[in-house]
Structure 1
Amino acid sequence: MSSDSSPPVCPPDPKPINAQNSPDESVTTACFSSSSANTTSSPPVDIPLSWPPDSKLTLDWIRHFSSALDWSSRNLPPSDFPSVLPVSVFDSLVLTASKILHKEPNCVRINDCLSLPDSAVVVVGDVHGQLHDLLFLLQDAGFPSDNRFFVFNGDYVDRGAWGLETFLLLLAWKVFLPHRVHLLRGNHESKYCTSVYGFEKEVLVKYDDKGKHAYRKCLGCFEGLPLASVIAGRVYTAHGGLFRSVSIPKSKRSKGKKNRRIIFNPEATPLSLGSFVELSTARRSVLDPPWEGLNLIPGDVLWSDPTMKPGLSLNKERGIGLLWGPDCTEEFLKKFHLKLIIRSHEGPDAREKRPGLAGMDEGYTIDHVVESGKLITVFSAPDYPQFQATEERYKNKGAYIVLKAPDFDDPEFHSFEATAPRPEARAYYDYEDVIDSDEELDLASMVTAK
């Protein structure tokens, strides 16, 4: 089901609504500035933006924020970003969002949608700093509201030129509607990836002498992002996908009360799928998930990939996470009474190197169809990656998925073209030399980046 990329007609501006009073309070859809027609010399709203005196965001505040971000991306150099969002307002936004995120469980259960008439859940894949495509997606899908939930599957930053704006806009939506907007963590929400793929440099350029401070605050916020969600008890979503069991056999524990050690060698331990109980106890606050030791689940959830080869194996191509086949998808769905797995993590560059799996031309693929349900990959950054343009450019569409009541397990696919023209921008990383698809990771650098 394709969506036209031209912006829809805007309804009248709504009255400010304080969504923090009640998670079920209705929200009127607002018109946000079109990302294709905001190239005037003067800003469409008053800048710099200020933090509300009562620290409660309104829909009008987010509307103004979106317009300001769109306008500044087209009219101001990156170093002028503090004239739009002063560091004091940045601090308030990130701190408020971090407090909300850190209180959420590793796996968020989204069940409120079951009790609301005509409710829907929108699942979004990687956006990678492509602000203008995100602005279009939000308007095309229908903005978050009382009966319209959003699950973002991670990778908000890196590669694209507006990772900071993208991440902050989504944090604003999270603060405004904490029970309707769910932000999961991607593998790029890490210190290692952001130091390689541009986000760290982007923040340093945009906040200058306050850049290191702002970057540290973003890393702290990354630590709080949940790892996965279960929608209506039927749909599991995560950035990478499935994860292993890390239960330690009793025979592996050394005897005695003193100097007790737990011996765990992932290479020697037979792989099996993990449980939601194990997922709930994983330590997600580690910025760069380990590929060895006991805390392997976050790395699996963020970095793993499906394959058409049966079984569960180590993901040696990436150097972290797992590869799992259709039999594992069936086992996971059946064991936990699920119908769908929706993951992201693979753009057109990655899929080009994955024999047996479909390409990402339409922004989504159906990877496994098994007796109990399906495995789907959704990728929401069209014409990706922004700067690695070659004669063989993929020119892929982006996509998002809509799950509707009453069952929420019959996905509607909405593909869309990239917003054009994109504002001119410089890359914040050496895109000609950096690998395309996160493969062949320098794990030693990941250790030193912690």
Structure 2
Amino acid sequence: MGLESICLPEGDITPGWVCKFAETLVKASWLGHQSLANVLSAGTATALLQRLSRLLSARPPLVQVSPKEDETVTVVGDTHGQLHDVMVMFASAGMPSEKAHFIFNGDYVDRGSWGLESELKAKYPEKEAGSIYKAAEAVFIALPLAACVAGTTLVLHGGLFRPTTKQKRKGKRQKCLTPGSLKDLTDPVFKPSADPCGTGLTRTPGDILWSDPVATPGMRLNKFRGVGLVFGPDITEAFLAANNLRLIIRSHEGPDARYEIEDDAMNMKMGYTRDHITPNGDLVTVFSAPDYPQHQACPEEDRYHNLAAVAVLRGSTAPSWADPEFLQSMASWHKF
């Protein structure tokens, strides 16, 4: 039986429309790669992305989320193109609604056979695939860099950051690096970019996307990645105090990034870790792609069989909006 084609609503996109849209995508995924273009035309896909881009462009780099006491905020980590597992996550955490807010914290698509370019080339004619990709790239550029929940929890993809203004150097030795503040995100001078290289006016976005927490004190350049920073618990503690925050939620690191860590509490096999626990608050990592990586180029024996997790924030817990409850889920069964 064929599936009904997806049409954009003339008015606002409602949660009900989104649920039906997701259901149609999942059903189409079982009918072969050609089925997507039959239910989601290139024109509709491009128009949807363009509408999303316009909405996101109106948002500031730092989005303020102000939930009411009886509402929830769920932070979703990296999903890496695993649509079926996202639907399992929604079955566990519930669908977005007026009282259930969701923050998706980056790495929406994966690489290889599950990369956006490969998906579009396999499912649409070349010209149409190029049009959709261009519209998707505009969405990535327009995405906010961070969100602040109830003035107490900061959500960003990678980690802490330097202000965009250049720090002074003393001779040829770089002065000790210090983190920026929330004010750097509310009064930005950086340049939007689909893939910030971390230099010049892309330094702050590059740091936010690529930085990682470490156990050793201080803040220094991230030599392993070649972009961004690494920072210790002392930096997290000072940043929380200076910005009146109690919690930082980040993503960015899955089990493949921490495979050499033997400590089960830190290797991301459970879908989350508590990286920094300080007197002023904590920093946690949440990763939402189970049994990663699942793209076709990765055989079964090379996957990490990790759980996925999301972080749920509530106003009724102490401290309010800064005491995450982690909901875990296993990978769904599906064809690769």
Residue 322 of structure 2 corresponds to residue 366 of structure 1: no
Q: Name whichever structure is richer in strand by fraction.
A: 2
Q: 1:273 aligns with which of 179, 190, 193?
A: 179
3-state DSSP of counterpart to 2:256: helix
- Looking at CA atoms only, which structure, 1 or 2, has the larger radius of gyration? 1
Q: 1:117 to 1:244 in 2, by over 3 A?
A: closer
3-state DSSP of counterpart to 1:90: helix
Q: 1:353 to 1:264 in 2, by over 3 A?
A: farther
Residue 27 of structure 2 corresponds to residue 49 of structure 1: no
Question: How many angstroms does 1:390 deviate by?
Answer: 4.9
Distance 2:224 2:119 in 1: 28
Unaligned runs of 5+ in 1: 1-41, 163-197, 253-262, 425-450
Q: 2:49 aligns with which of 94, 97, 102?
A: 94
C-alpha contact 1:223 1:284 (8 A) present in aligned 2 = no
Residue 82 of structure 2 corresponds to residue 130 of structure 1: yes
C-alpha contact 1:282 1:298 (8 A) present in aligned 2 = no
Q: 1:296 to 1:319 in 2, by over 3 A?
A: same
3-state DSSP of counterpart to 1:68: helix
Q: 1:231 aligns with which of 125, 149, 157?
A: 149
Question: How many angstroms does 1:51 deviate by?
Answer: 2.0
Distance 1:291 1:303 in 2: 9
Aligned pairs (5 A) from 1:9-408:
42-43=1-2, 46-52=3-9, 54-76=10-32, 78-111=33-66, 113=67, 116-159=68-111, 198-209=115-126, 210-248=128-166, 268-280=174-186, 281-283=188-190, 285-353=192-260, 358-387=266-295, 388-391=298-301, 393-406=303-316, 407-408=320-321
Question: How many angstroms does 1:287 deviate by?
Answer: 1.7
Identity of counterpart residues, as a percentage? 41
Q: Which amino acid aligns with 1:419?
A: S
**TM-score normalised by L of structure 1:** 0.69
C-alpha contact 1:106 1:282 (8 A) present in aligned 2 = no
1:195 is matched with none
Question: How many angstroms does 1:106 deviate by?
Answer: 0.6
Distance 1:91 1:244 in 2: 35
Aligned pairs (5 A) from 1:415-426:
415-420=328-333, 422-424=334-336
Q: Which amino acid aligns with 1:155?
A: D
Q: Cα deviation per residue 1:401-442 (whole Å; 9 max; x = unaligned)?
A: 11111411111011111111x123xxxxxxxxxxxxxxxxxx
Distance 2:163 2:130 in 1: 37
C-alpha contact 1:362 1:415 (8 A) present in aligned 2 = yes
Q: 1:69 to 1:237 in 2, by over 3 A?
A: same
Distance 2:5 2:214 in 1: 48
C-alpha contact 2:191 2:201 (8 A) present in aligned 1 = no
Distance 1:122 1:369 in 2: 21
C-alpha contact 1:367 1:376 (8 A) present in aligned 2 = yes
Question: How many angstroms does 1:368 deviate by?
Answer: 0.8
Question: How many angstroms does 1:247 deviate by?
Answer: 3.2
C-alpha contact 2:29 2:35 (8 A) present in aligned 1 = no
3-state DSSP of counterpart to 2:257: helix
Question: How many angstroms does 1:270 deviate by?
Answer: 3.4
Report how many residues are paired. Answer: 328
C-alpha contact 1:399 1:415 (8 A) present in aligned 2 = yes
Question: How many angstroms does 1:353 deviate by?
Answer: 4.1
C-alpha contact 1:312 1:322 (8 A) present in aligned 2 = yes
The two structures, once aligned, show a CA RMSD in angstroms of 2.3
Q: 1:289 to 1:265 in 2, by over 3 A?
A: farther
Question: How many angstroms does 1:160 deviate by?
Answer: 7.7
**TM-score normalised by L of structure 2:** 0.91
Unaligned runs of 5+ in 2: none
C-alpha contact 1:230 1:236 (8 A) present in aligned 2 = yes
Question: How many angstroms does 1:266 deviate by?
Answer: 10
Distance 1:283 1:83 in 2: 41
